[in-house]
Amino acid sequence: MPLRTANPSARQTELLEAAYAYSLRHGLNDLSLRPLAESIGSSTRVLMFLFGNKDGLVRALLERARTDELALLAELRRPEQPVGLGSAAREVWAWLAAEEHRPLLRLWAEAYARSLVDPDGPWAGFARNTVEDWLDVLAECQPRTERHTEKGAVLRTLTLAVLRGALLDLLATDDERRVTAAVHQQVALLGGVSHSEG
């Protein structure tokens, strides 16, 4: 859900960006409006006016996080000159494994999990939307002859599962070297499956 107004004011956008930076540091699980407002130089009354309520603010923050995620995906979209799942997976993993992206990815993991256990809350649809976003861009990385086949759907689903599982392992352990080696090994195997069955 975007900001409450179709044309948000500069102040509203500024507060959302500040709240987003705060949520990257502290997460969303125990988000409380009062300390958030104090930290970003606002008030609970202003935040309630701009975002409706706490759930509205959480939805706006999740949409802001999705904007960052979609920016990465946009860089991979090359439907006319597809790079292939292997190259796409390696490129995505390099971004996921970068230490400077850990705050965003921890926020993503928190929101993904919450949307599974609280499907009617402000997190509603976040996990499903994320899966669909990633499968869509991975499809555009596949050769046209593979993209619209059942096997193509299976391969991109498997690729996404590898990346997501590796990301959760990395966030839990910070063992970037081990997890990256495992990702590269699995991507090589996936490439072999794609070529041998294509």
pLDDT grade for 28, boundaries at 50, 70 and 90: confident
Residues 4, 40 within the same domain: yes
Q: What contacts 193, CB < 8 A, 6 or more positions away?
A: 155
pLDDT grade for 19, boundaries at 50, 70 and 90: very high
Q: What is the pLDDT of residues 41-94, one digit of tens each?
A: 999 999 999 988 888 998 899 888 888 888 877 777 766 777 888 988 998 899
Residues 127, 157 within the same domain: yes
The per-residue pLDDT for 83 is: 82
- Give the residue from 14, 43, 64 where a domain finishes: 64
Within-domain flag for 114? yes
b/e map 85-123, b = 16+ CB within 10 Å: bbebbbebbeebbeeeeeebbebbbbbbebbeeeeeebb
Within-domain flag for 128? yes
The per-residue pLDDT for 169 is: 97
Tell me the three-class secondary structure of the chain, residue by residue: CCCCCCCCCHHHHHHHHHHHHHHHHHCCCCCCHHHHHHHCCCCHHHHHHHHCCHHHHHHHHHHHHHHHHHHHHHHHCCCCCCCCHHHHHHHHHHHHHCHHHHHHHHHHHHHHHHHHHCCCCCCCCHHHHHHHHHHHHHHHHCCHHHHCCHHHHHHHHHHHHHHHHHHHHHHHHCCHHHHHHHHHHHHHHHHHHHHHHC
Give the Cα separation of 91 and 106 in Å (integer).
19
The per-residue pLDDT for 29 is: 77
Residue 1 has pLDDT above 50, yes or no: no
Question: Which of 197, 72, 63 lies closest to 141, judged by CA?
Answer: 72
pLDDT grade for 197, boundaries at 50, 70 and 90: very low
Q: What is the pLDDT of residues 123-179, one digit of tens each?
A: 889 999 999 999 998 998 888 889 999 999 999 999 999 999 999 999 999 999 999
pTM: 0.80
The per-residue pLDDT for 178 is: 97
Q: What is the CATH number of the domain that holds 18?
A: 1.10.10.60
Question: Which of 56, 9, 68, 58 lies closest to 29, judged by CA?
Answer: 58
Task: Give me the domain span that covers residue 106.
Answer: 77-197
Residues 87, 148 within the same domain: yes
**Count of domains in the chain?**
2
Q: What is the mean pLDDT of residues 108-128?
A: 89
Give the Cα separation of 28 and 48 in Å (integer).
17
